Homo-oligomer: A and B are copies of this chain.
Amino acid sequence: MVVVMRSQANDADVDKVVKAISEVGGDAFVSRGKNQTIIGLVGDVTQFTELPLHAFPGVEDVIRVSKPYKLVSNDAHPRPSTVWVGDVPIGRDTMTLIAGPCAVETEEQTEGACRMAVEAGAKILRGGAYKPRTSPYAFQGLGEPGLDIIHAVARDLDMPFVTEVVTTADVETVAAKADMLQVGARNMQNFQLLKEVGMAGKPVLLKRGLTATIDEWIMAAEYIAHTGNLQVVLCERGIRTYEPATRNTLDVSAVPVAQSLTHLPVIIDPSHSGGKRELVMPLIKAGIAVGADGIIVDVHPRPEVALCDGPQALVKDDIVQLRETVVRYAEAAERTLPTSDTPRREGAWGRSAAG
């Protein structure tokens, strides 16, 4: 860290900072300029972060120059992790497609959507039983019966599935059936939920908050890792900007940036960022090209009757193109698609290669 002193700060002010740092076991190097003094802090940053240096007399600014996270940092694990969801890997060498309905509505719709997902080449299913909705008057998801539906369909198809959990009270129920727990964008800083989801021991799909910086997103992953669970997959799903033409702005740069800072896999969600069906395919291509380790996409057999986010779901006519697009761009990106040849690992549901 660097402490920048005000131009009016005196020697006593500088000494106070130096003393505080040495008291927590750090070293402070003072650069005294004509107009301004800068103090470089060296040592265990966790200690310094807790010091209220900003409130010290004569301090103008405190600038952090090192990463605030440890367990998920690639300083700790220089080799990228692979997170296994059931027997399906998500990691730097592969390109894993996750697909299914946004919300579980009926058995028929869920099965229809999941069969579309399989046809498109998805290796992991998705389907929401608990839906966080902006309006109390909107469809809130089927809850546990919905969980049972997606669970039954996934087991029939012999595939793992991911589903969102929106409150700590449901973590145990969901973790008993789902192969991966999703923490949604709105809950990215619901710290108690992060902790309990982490302790459930299943892989976690952590969506980036609508307005979270990349650092805050990775810190949320650190909360999960802090419970001992390193099976975290980061998911970029668009950020809130001033641009009204799209629901959110997909921040593709976040993929290489996050990959350069952590050892965790990073995937993208093109459905919720664009908010329009016609943007989904271009954003899938952009996501794979920019280096995403996976794609999570909504499909729906009959979007015109969907209870949630129908306008952005891919439909039956899109499935062949989706499959071919993923194959073509994964090849350009020198990624392999997990296939039946990928060694099935018995009993490896939710095992992290990082462990």
Q: Tell me, in angstroms, the Cα distance from A165 to B281 when the chains sit together.
A: 36
Residue of B nearest to A130 (CB): B192
Nearest residue (CB) in B for A42 is B33
* Binary contact readout A233-277 vs B (1 if CB under 8 angstroms, 0 otherwise): 000000111111110011111111100100000000000011000
Size category of the A interface is 35 or more
Contacts of A50 in B (CB 8 A): 137-139, 307
**Chain B positions within 8 Å of A66 at CB level:** 35-36
Inter-chain contact B52/A303, CB cutoff 8 Å: yes
Q: Which residue of B lies closest to A309 (CB)?
A: B52
> Is A46 among interface residues, defined by CB-CB distance under 8 A?
yes
Q: Is the CB of B286 within 8 A of A46?
A: no
Within 8 A of B (CB), among A273-330: 273-274, 278-279, 282-283, 285-291, 303-307, 310-311, 313, 328-329
Is B249 within 8 A of A241, CB to CB? yes
Q: How far is the CB of A204 from chain B (nearest CB, A)?
A: 15
- Which residues of chain B come closer than 8 Å to A139, judged between CB atoms? 50
Copies of this chain, tallied across the complex: 4
Chain B residue nearest to A313 in the complex (CB): B55
Chain B residues within an 8 Å CB radius of A245: 213-215, 253-254, 257
CB distance from A109 to the nearest CB of B (A): 12
Please determine whether B33 and A43 come into contact, CB atoms closer than 8 angstroms: yes
Binding-face segment, A148-156, A182-190, A336-344, A347-355: A182-190
- Within the complex, the shortest CB–CB distance from A70 to chain B, in Å, comes to 8
B252 close to A283 (CB less than 8 A): yes
Stretch at the interface among A56-64, A87-95, A112-120, A121-129: A56-64
CB of A133 closer than 8 Å to a CB of B: yes
A161 within 8 A of B: no
Query: Closest Cβ of chain B: how far from A203's Cβ, in Å?
Result: 19
Closest to A334 in B: B328
CB closest chain-B residue, reference A287: B286
Q: A166-B191, A244-B244 are in contact. Are A285 and B279 (CB under 8 A)?
A: no
Q: Which residues of B contact A43 (CB under 8 A)?
A: 33-34
Out of B54, B65, B222, name the residue touching A61 (CB < 8 Å). Answer: B65
- Smallest CB-CB separation from A32: which chain B residue? B42
What would 24 A/B residue contacts be, using CB atoms closer than 8 Å?
A27-B31, A34-B43, A35-B66, A38-B65, A52-B311, A57-B304, A61-B65, A68-B135, A132-B191, A133-B191, A134-B189, A135-B219, A167-B190, A211-B211, A213-B242, A215-B245, A253-B274, A253-B282, A253-B283, A256-B278, A282-B290, A285-B332, A288-B289, A289-B290
With A29-B32, A282-B289, A285-B290 known, 4 other A-B pairs at CB within 8 A are A2-B40, A38-B42, A245-B254, A249-B249
